[in-house]
Structure 1
Amino acid sequence: MAWNEPGNNNGNNGRDNDPWGNNNRGNKGGREQGPPDLDEVFNKLSQKLGGKFGGKGGNGPSIGSGGGALGIGVIAAIAVAIWFFAGFYTVGEAERGVVQRLGKYDRVVDPGLNWRPRFIDEVTKVNVQAIRSLRASGLMLTKDENVVTIGMDVQYKVSDPYKYLFVVTNADDSLRQATDSALRAVIGDSLMDSILTSGRQQITQSTEDTLNEIIQSYDMGIAIVDVNFQSARPPEQVKDAFDDAIAAREDEERFEREAEAYSNDILPKATGRAERLKKEAQGYSERVVNGATGQVAQFEKLLPEYQAAPEVTRNRLYLDTMEKVYTSTSKVLIDSESSGNLLYLPIDKLAGQGSSSSKPQQNQTKQTSVYDQIELETQPETSSSSQGRGDSSRQGRY
């Protein structure tokens, strides 16, 4: 039921309720009141503001008076100060600030503290030292009509902030599309075996060169830092077959390297042994020839002596030969024609026992001649033993 509907007493003795506190019905003595007047509200507010800024109480001047103008001037000064101080900004060491005045490019500011008129100039900060990265990948068709999945990572940085922001609509997206286009062009001119095995470096270099040409033609304000070949693999449907082929190729290369290593190990040794045998044969030949030449010269020198005294020279040669022969043997020759019992001392055995008992004297034993090895002693003759001793001890003629 509405507040002013007739008959709505609500315990107020038949009076209708007014939301503004007015009772138009049943209050004969009160005057009619309506909603508050907006003009009156604004007038009161103006009087209060005028009183705070130099007005004279509640009946002071209105907002259009001198006190109100002074208040508005103070407010304007404060607003200008706030606007001025809000215009200061800082550009980082690795950044450059691109200034737009009323939406139009104006200049590029360097790092440090700068000022701009706020709401007039707008500054966009661009990091020109950070290395950015984007990845291009997808299924691509090779020259031999095979499909391969390629992944390429491109690292770049901003070289010109103005061109980066305003020459193209979106420099990062344009670079991504240019990378995909360059990569597909290079893969389309390459064979799949080369892509999967040994041709990755060439593909990376070709992609970087093609991408630099595209960037220069677009003039995007971007510099390529590096291009990395991330992955290259065949489709999943034929991956097992390609893995087997790659494993077989790797085994072939491994066997070739092992064979080459074995060859490099054997050939130098065989060449060294052959050279050693050649040198030994050459040395032996020279030694034999020189020995024979020396013997010939020696006999040529002995010939006059032999012609002068043949018997003496012959005996001397015989004795020297026997000395050389019996120097290296343990046999002892005893003359059977000599009279008496002959005993000999086994000097070689005694020397061996002496060397084994006294080690410090081991290196002092000298090789003696056949004359030193034979020790003859004459014993008293006996009728029975002398003849037998002489017969049994005959071993040769000295």
Structure 2
Amino acid sequence: MAWNEPGNNNDNNGRDNDPWGKNNNRGGREQGPPDLDEVFNKLSQKLGGKFGKKGGKGPSFSGGSAMGFGAIAIIAILIWVFSGFYTIGEAERGVVLRLGKYERIVDPGLNWRPRFIDEVTPVNVQAIRSLRASGLMLTKDENVVTVEMGVQYRVSDPYKYLYRVTNADDSLRQATDSALRAVIGDSLMDSILTSGRQAIRQETEKTLNQIIDKYDMGLTVIDVNFQSSRPPEQVKDAFDDAIAAREDEERFIREAEAYKNEILPKATGRAERLKKEAQGYTERTVNEALGQVAQFEKLLPEYNAAPKVTRDRLYLDSMEKIYSHSSKVLIDSDSSGNMLYLPIDKLISESQKNSATNRAKDKSQPTYDGIQLDQKNSSESQDSGTNSTSARQGRF
């Protein structure tokens, strides 16, 4: 039942239910809501007791209330002014919104804004932020590979970073994942796991920058790092074996190249030396032939003058050259009927053996003995030379 319904002015305890607390019958007439003048008078009396003279009569409504409201207004204005000061850090920039609309960018330092009118959001524009995108991705040759990519970036435009997209950091993460999946989908698994990592990193960075420029998120990508790429765990052992075999292949190739670099210069030098020797031999042979021709040309006039004598002389010289290197002895059988045996080869061998023995004795005997032995050996050598010369002369 409502408080103002007829017959409901008192509760069960006999108390008045008037919410104004002043529903007392005065003069037989019910009193309505309190008068506003009375409320202001009471408020002015309280303020007058604080700001007016003590013990005196409180100020009237007009004078006391004006003074109280002025003091309150001054205090409120001072609080509002001082509460509007704020500080932006050295690495930050402040984005100012006035009544919800973008106003300006404020620089680091002490600044002031009209409180409850301007709203300032500081954004760090120098900090290097990072995120990581990873997951199972399908390659061009229909294999599955786990790839992790790290991105480092910073805020280049605070306003765009805050208000162009709902969440710039999350948007960049999604853009990185999209760009990475697009690049991995156009690459072969062997290239992803081995030699194509650098190319994939560059292509991912290029694709990611295109996405950022398209959405205009106020971010700048500093670096993209290809952190890891590995096959699924189910086939990891087989891929490890394949990678080990590939590494062995590369190692063998490097060893073969090192061996080639070591052997090839030697072979080239040896070939060059043989070539020079062949050229020297050619020149020497040609010169010898030319010398023989010149010698023959000198003998030709002599031969024309006395053919028989020149021919015999040439024959004897040639035979002497030939038989000087032979141990055989030829004797004219017509000169005697006896058969002569001269073991010239054994005599020469014995002579060489005696010479070696004498040299060994020279090292152990006194000097004068060595001189006498040398003279004796010299005499024997002269006798052997005479016999040899006689034998050669006997042949002819």
TM-score bracket for this pair, using the shorter chain length: 0.5 to 0.7
The question of whether the paired residues in 1 share the 8 Å contact of 2:192 and 2:200 is answered with yes
* 1:154 and 2:151 matched: yes
Which aligned pairs between 1:243-258 and structure 2 lie closer than 5 A? 243-258=240-255
Shift of 1:137: 0.5
- More helix as a share of residues: 2
Task: Structure 1: state its 5+ residue gaps.
Answer: 1-39, 308-313, 319-348, 354-374, 377-388
Indicate conservation of the 8 Å contact 1:47/1:59, yes or no. no
**Residue 142 (1) aligns with residue 139 (2):** yes
Residue 391 of structure 1 and its aligned partner are, at CA, apart by 9.4
1:287-310 per-position Cα deviation (integer Å, ceiling 9, x unaligned): 4544675687689899999x9xxx
Question: C-alpha separation between the residues in 1 aligned to 2:73 and 2:379?
Answer: 158
**Equivalent position amino acid for 2:254 in 1:** R
The whole-number CA distance in structure 2 between the counterparts of 1:92 and 1:114 is 11
Residue 101 of structure 1 contacts residue 122 of structure 1 at CA under 8 Å; is this kept in 2? yes
- Provide the secondary structure at the position in 1 that maps to 2:383: coil
Whole-angstrom CA distance in 2 between matches of 1:96 and 1:108: 7
The match for 1:394 among 374, 383, 395 is 383
State TM-score, norm by structure 1: 0.62
Deviation string 1:282-332 (CA, Å, 9 cap, x unpaired) is: 224434544675687689899999x9xxxxxx9xxx9xxxxxxxxxxxxxx
Deviations 1:27-75 (A, max 9, x none): xxxxxxxxxxxxx99988864642442x232443258453553344234
SS at match of 2:264: helix
Structure 1 pair 303/95, CA: closer, same or farther in 2 (3 Å)? same
CA distance in 1, matches of 2:380, 2:138: 112
Q: Please, which moves more after superposition, 232-241 or 295-304?
A: 295-304
Give secondary structure in 2 for the equivalent of 1:394: helix
Task: Indicate the residue corresponding to 2:5 in structure 1.
Answer: none
* Matched residue SS, 1:266: helix
Count of matched residue positions in the alignment of Structure 1 and Structure 2: 290
Distance 1:301-1:84 versus aligned 2 partners, 3 A rule: farther
Rounded to whole Å, the distance in 2 between the matches of 1:287 and 1:200 is 63
CA contact (8 A) 2:41 2:61 kept: no
User: Aligned residue for 2:48?
Assistant: 50
Residue by residue over 1:79-114, the C-alpha shift from the partner in whole angstroms, topping out at 9 and shown as x without a partner, is 322322332223333322110112222122233332
Retained in 1: the 8 A contact 2:44–2:64? no
Give the aligned partner of residue 280 of structure 1: 277
**Deviations 1:200-224 (Å, cap 9, x if unpaired)?**
1222222222222222221211222
| Aligned residues: CA RMSD | 4.1
Match of 2:83 in 1: 86
TM-score, reference length from structure 2: 0.62
Number of the residue aligned with 1:207: 204
1:22-61 mapped onto 2 (5 Å cutoff) = 47=45, 49-53=47-51, 55-61=52-58
Report 1:312-323 matches (<5 A): none
**Counterpart in 2 of 1:261?**
258
Letter in 2 for 1:50: G
Describe the shift of the 1:298–1:84 C-alpha distance in structure 2 as closer, same or farther (beyond 3 A): farther
Could you say which residue in structure 2 is the equivalent of 1:132?
Answer: 129
Tell me which residue corresponds to 1:115.
Answer: 112
Contact 1:138/1:150 (8 A) holds in 2: yes
Q: Distance in 2 between matches of 1:212 and 1:121?
A: 34
For residues 275 and 81 of structure 1, do their structure 2 counterparts lie closer, same or farther at Cα, with a shift above 3 Å needed?
same
Does the CA contact (< 8 Å) of 1:63 and 1:69 recur in 2? no
In structure 1, C-alpha distance between the alignment counterparts of 2:185 and 2:380, rounded to whole Å: 112
Kept in 2: contact 1:49–1:63 (CA 8 A): no
**Residue equivalent to 1:329:** none
Question: After superposition, where does 1:140-219 map in structure 2 within 5 Å?
Answer: 140-219=137-216
Structure-2 change in CA distance of 1:66 and 1:271 (3 Å)? same
Aligned residue type for 1:219 = D
Paired residue type of 1:199: G
1:232 maps onto 2:221 in alignment: no
- Give, in whole Å, the separation in 1 of the partners of 2:230 and 2:383: 99
**Given that residues 168 and 217 in structure 2 are in contact (C-alpha distance below 8 angstroms), is that contact kept between their aligned partners in structure 1?**
yes
Q: Which residue of 2 aligns with 1:360?
A: none
Cα distance in 2, alignment partners of residues 151 and 44 from structure 1? 74
Cα distance in 1 for partners of 2:122, 2:202 equals 33
Instruction: Classify 1:73/1:254 alpha carbon distance in 2 versus 1 (closer, same or farther; 3 Å).
Output: same
> 1-side partners of 2:62 and 2:41: how far apart?
13
Taking only the aligned residue pairs, the percentage that are identical comes to 78
Moved more, 272-281 or 81-90: 81-90
Return the offset for 1:178: 1.3
Evaluate the alpha carbon distance shift between residue 167 and residue 285 of structure 1 in structure 2; reply closer, same or farther with a 3 A threshold.
Answer: same
Residue 10 of structure 1: aligned partner: none
Sort the Cα spacing of 1:181 and 1:156 in 2 relative to 1 into closer, same or farther, 3 A: same
The answer to whether the 8 A contact 2:209-2:221 is kept is yes
